[in-house]
Structure 1
Amino acid sequence: MSARPVLLFVDGWPLSFCHHVIRRDDVDLVLLRFSSQRALFSEDYLDATAHLPAFWVRDDAPLAEEVERYHAMTRRTGLRPTYFCNPSEPAQEIAHAFARRAGLPHLTERQVRWVRNKAAMKDRFRELGLATAAHRTVSTTAEVREFARSHGWPVVVKPVDSFACIDTFLVRDERDLARLDLSPARSWMVEEHVGGQEWEACALVLGGEVLDVWPSAMPARPLSIVDGAINANISLGSGEGPDVDLRDLVQRVVTGMGLDHGYLHMEFFVDRGRVLVGEVGLRLAGCEIPANHGHAYGFDVFAATLDVYLGRRPDLTYRWRRCVGDLLLPLPGSGRVRHITREEELLAMPGVIAAVVRHGRGDVVTSRRMSHNSAGYVHVAGQTAEEVERRMRHVLDRYRIEIEPVGPPAAVAP
C-alpha cells in the first residue's frame, strides 16, 4: 500500500488543473476515464499519462459491474484510492455515482441534482431564501411563449444540464421563438432574463466551511460571448468588486446544500442593489478562471484546490493583489489555419503575462457555439478591471487569425 494519499481523479477535461495534478509527485493517482468521453483525449495526452494507472468505465456495462472491475484493478496495483476528485461538469452524475458505489467521498444524488440540474438548483435557492430568476421546465415552444407572456421578453431557454452556454439561447421575441428547436431527447427550461451586472465568484470549501471567495468581473455576459462579444473573466484581487458579502452568500449555499469540500463556482447578478443567484457548480470553473485567481493573489491556486480534495487545509497566504483576467482568443470559424498571431507576439503586448496558442499554420480547426470556444488564451494583468479590459481590447485589436475552408477531396480520374 502507498504511504502517500491515493486519489481517484476524473480525467479527460482539458483543464490546467488536470495538468497540475498529473505532475504532482506527492500523491498517487488513479485516473478515472469514461469511454463516452474518449474524444477528449489526444494521443499526446494519453502518451504523457501512460505511466499512471487508468480505469476506463465502459458505456455498455452496468455500473456495479464496472466498480467490481475497478476494485480488482486496485487490488492488482496496490493503489486503493481513499480520496476522490471530479473537476468536470458534464461528468458529475456518472462520476459521483461511481464514487458512491466505490466507497469514496461523493455527492449524494440529491446534491448532484442541486449542482447540475439548473431547474432543481434554482428551486433549492428559493428554499434557502435566495432570490433567483423566475423559471419553469418546458418541453414545447408554446410553454416558452406562455412563460414569456407572464414574465416578459426576452427569456433564456436552455437544457437543464447545459454548461458553457451550449444550446442556451436568448429568445427576444416571437420571431426568435419560431427558430427554437426543443429536442425531445433533452430536458429544457425557460427563465426570465435578469438585468443588472453579472458577476462570478469562486471559493474553496473544506469541512463545510468557505475558506475564501474570489470574485470575477465579466466584460460581456456569456450569452453575448457566444454571439461574438469579448470572451474574458477578470479576477478582482484589487480595485472595486461587487457590493455583496460574498463569503456569507456562498456559505448560505454551501450550508443549504450540505456541501462538504471542493472548488465552488457561482454566477450571480446585482440589479439596483438586489442580488439574484444565477447558477452554482461544485467543480473547477471553466476557461482559465482558477489560474486568474492564482495570478491575481499570488498563490498556488491549483495546489490549494488539490489540498481540499485531499482533506488538507490549504495555504491561502497571498503574496500580492492585482487584477488578472483570461482573454480567450477568437476562433471565428472552421477550416485550415492560414495565419495566427504567435505567442511571442502576444507576450510583447502591454499587461500580457502568459499566452497559450493552441493552433498553428496548417492545423484544421473546428469552431463551436460555446463559451470556451477559442484558439488559445492570454492572461492580462493590471491594477483595476478597467485597465485589464483596456489591455485585453488592445490584444484583440492586434490579434490575427485567418482560416480558409477545407474543401472536399479532389476526385480521382478513372
Structure 2
Amino acid sequence: MTGAEVLLMVDDRPSTFTRYAARELSGRLVLLRFAETAQDLPEEYLVETAHLPAFWVREGVPAEEEAKRYREWAAGLPVPPTRFCNPSEPRQAAAQRFAGLAGLPHLTGPQVTLVRDKAAMKQRFRELGLRTAEFARVRSAGEIGRFAGRHGWPLVLKPVDSFACVDTHRLSGPGDLTGIDLGARRWMVEEHLGGTEWEVCALILDGEVLDAWPSAMPCRPLDIVDGAMNANISVGTGEGPPVDLRALVQRIVTGMGIDHGYAHMEFFLIDGEVYAGEIGLRLAGCEIPANHGHAYGFDVFGATLAVYLGRRPELDYRERRCAGDLLLPLPGSGRIRRITSREEILAMPGVVDAVLKVGAGDPVTARRASHNASGYAHVVGRSVGEVEARMREVLDRFAIEVVPEREADAVPL
C-alpha cells in the first residue's frame, strides 16, 4: 500500500485484520490499547506487534486527560496519526470519544448510539422507511409478558448493546426468564422473525457505498450458540438475495450520516420483503471479511485499510465463487486432550486455509457466544450448497476432546 498518512487503530484483541495491518502498514500504523483489555492480548501477540508504537489508555483516568497525554506522546512520533480505525464493537463508544478528543476522524456520540443501541438503531431504520421486527425496551418480566401478549411467543431478549449473541435469548414463554438478571443491563425484546436471515458487508468512502457483499448463514446465530453449525458463506455467485444491497446499505449510511468505514448488516427476507435487523460500523465478526476476499479474489483487508486512510480502493475482483468460514467447535471448558491437526483439515475437500487457536494440552474456556470456537477453516466451492456440504464433511471428520481440569491433572494428556 502507498500513501503517507498514519492510522491509529484500536487493538483490543488479536484478529486477522489487525495482524494484516501490522504487516502492511509498518511505519504508518499506531496501536491504541485500553488497559482494561490487556488480558485479551496474549504475550506472543504483544511480541509479534512490538515493532509498532502503541499508546495505552489507562483505566480509571478521565478520557480528556488521556487524550491530552496521547497528543503529547503522538507529537514525538515521526508522523503522528491523522486517521482512525476502530474494529472493536464493545469499545465503540470509548474509542470514538477518544478519537474525537484526539482530533481524529470519528463517529459522533449520536452516531455511536445509532450503531450500538439496537433499539435506537431500529427506530432510525423505521424513520428511514425500512421494515423491522416489532420491538420494545424492557426492564421487567411484566413488560416482557405484555409485549408477548401483543406480539406472541417466541420472542428475542437481548441487551441493547450486545454483540455476537452474548446474553441474547430466544424465549418460548415466561419460564425461559429463569436465571436472567434483568437489572444487570439495559434490555430490549423483539418479535422472532421467520424467513431467511442474510448478512451484507459494505465499504464506504465519502458517504458512498462502494460495494456490498452478501453472506448466507446455514444456521441462525441464535441456533449457533445452542450448538448448530457456526458458519458464514460469502456468495460471490448469483445466488445472493434478490435485493439491491448497495441501495439498502446506502439508505442507512446516508440516514446515519456515515462518512467512511466497513459496515456489517444483518437482515431478513420474508415473502420477498426486507426486514432490517442490525448494523455495525466495524469489520464483521469471525472471519467473514476474509470470506469475501476468497470469494471475489481480491485483497479485502487492503481495501478496508484504504477507506480508513481516506483513499478509494481498487475493487479488482478476479474470482466469482462461494467461500465461507467454518468455526470449529469448542465443546466445553477444561483442557484439550486431542484435536485434529491443521494439516489434516487442509487436506479435506474445499479447504483453502485453516487456523487452530488451541492445541493439545491447552486450557480452554467455552462461552455462549457466536464466536466461540477452537479455530476455523475457510472452505470454497461453486455454490452455497457445495460449500455447506464440504463444511459438514469437515465437521464430521474434525475431532476435539476437552476434559475437565481435575481429570486432565489426573491423567497424562
Q: TM-score range with shorter-chain normalisation?
A: over 0.9
Shift of 1:302: 0.2
Is the 1:5–1:27 Cα contact (8 Å) retained in structure 2? Answer: no
| Structure 1 residue identity aligned to 2:102 | A
Shift of 1:27: 5.3
Q: TM-score, normalised by structure 2?
A: 0.97
Is the 2:224–2:370 Cα contact (8 Å) retained in structure 1? Answer: yes
Give distance in 1, aligned partners of 2:210 and 2:409.
60
1:180-225, Cα deviation, whole Å (9 max, x unpaired)? 5134231111111011000000000000000000000000000000
| Structure 1 residue identity aligned to 2:79 | L
Shift of 1:79: 3.1
Shift of 1:48: 1.3
1:249-307, Cα deviation, whole Å (9 max, x unpaired)? 11000100010000000000001111100000000000000000000000000000000
* 2:78 matches 1:75: no
Unaligned runs of 5+ in 2: none
* 2:31 matches 1:34: no
1:315-368, Cα deviation, whole Å (9 max, x unpaired)? 101001000000000001011111100011111111111111111111111100
Corresponding position of 1:204: 203
Shift of 1:66: 0.3
SS of 2:223's partner is: helix
Give distance in 2, aligned partners of 1:239 and 1:29.
37
Give distance in 2, aligned partners of 1:227 and 1:241.
26
Corresponding position of 1:359: 358
SS of 1:23's partner is: helix
| Structure 2 residue identity aligned to 1:65 | E
Unaligned runs of 5+ in 1: none
Is the 2:26–2:52 Cα contact (8 Å) retained in structure 1? Answer: no
1:69-120, Cα deviation, whole Å (9 max, x unpaired)? 1011112234311100001100100000001111100001000000011011
* 2:58 matches 1:65: no
* 2:162 matches 1:149: no
Give distance in 1, aligned partners of 2:292 and 2:167.
28
Corresponding position of 2:406: 407
Identity %: 62
1:48-81, Cα deviation, whole Å (9 max, x unpaired)? 1122111111121111100111011112234311
SS of 1:46's partner is: helix
| Structure 2 residue identity aligned to 1:403 | V
Query: Where does 1:93-242 land on structure 2 (aligned, <5 Å)?
Result: 93-177=93-177, 179-242=178-241
| Structure 2 residue identity aligned to 1:42 | P
Give distance in 2, aligned partners of 1:140 and 1:78.
54
Corresponding position of 1:340: 339
Alignment CA distance shift 1:409-1:300 (3 Å): closer
Give distance in 2, aligned partners of 1:409 and 1:57.
38
Give distance in 1, aligned partners of 2:12 and 2:296.
28
SS of 1:13's partner is: coil
* 2:82 matches 1:86: no
Shift of 1:129: 0.7
SS of 2:406's partner is: coil
Give distance in 1, aligned partners of 2:324 and 2:107.
31
Shift of 1:14: 2.5
Is the 2:140–2:182 Cα contact (8 Å) retained in structure 1? Answer: no
Deviates more, 1:78-87 or 1:244-253: 78-87
Deviates more, 1:43-52 or 1:334-343: 43-52
Is the 2:158–2:189 Cα contact (8 Å) retained in structure 1? Answer: yes
1:361-389, Cα deviation, whole Å (9 max, x unpaired)? 11111100000000000000001001000
Corresponding position of 2:376: 377
SS of 1:339's partner is: strand
Corresponding position of 1:331: 330
| Structure 2 residue identity aligned to 1:191 | E
Deviates more, 1:52-61 or 1:155-164: 52-61
| Structure 2 residue identity aligned to 1:29 | L
State the Cα RMSD in Å: 1.5
SS of 2:113's partner is: helix
Shift of 1:410: 8.6
Shift of 1:174: 2.2
| Structure 2 residue identity aligned to 1:343 | R
| Structure 1 residue identity aligned to 2:245 | L
Give distance in 1, aligned partners of 2:87 and 2:245.
22
| Structure 1 residue identity aligned to 2:353 | A
Alignment CA distance shift 1:358-1:63 (3 Å): same
Alignment CA distance shift 1:81-1:175 (3 Å): same
Is the 1:141–1:180 Cα contact (8 Å) retained in structure 2? Answer: no
Corresponding position of 1:43: 43
SS of 1:55's partner is: strand
SS of 1:407's partner is: helix
| Structure 2 residue identity aligned to 1:119 | A
Q: Runs of 4 or more off by more than 6 Å in structure 1?
A: 408-411
| Structure 1 residue identity aligned to 2:163 | F
Corresponding position of 2:14: 14
Is the 1:182–1:188 Cα contact (8 Å) retained in structure 2? Answer: no
Corresponding position of 2:247: 248
Give distance in 2, aligned partners of 1:329 and 1:342.
12
Give distance in 1, aligned partners of 2:25 and 2:402.
41
Is the 1:239–1:383 Cα contact (8 Å) retained in structure 2? Answer: no
1:157-200, Cα deviation, whole Å (9 max, x unpaired)? 010000000000000112213x1513423111111101100000
| Structure 2 residue identity aligned to 1:373 | N
Is the 2:135–2:188 Cα contact (8 Å) retained in structure 1? Answer: yes
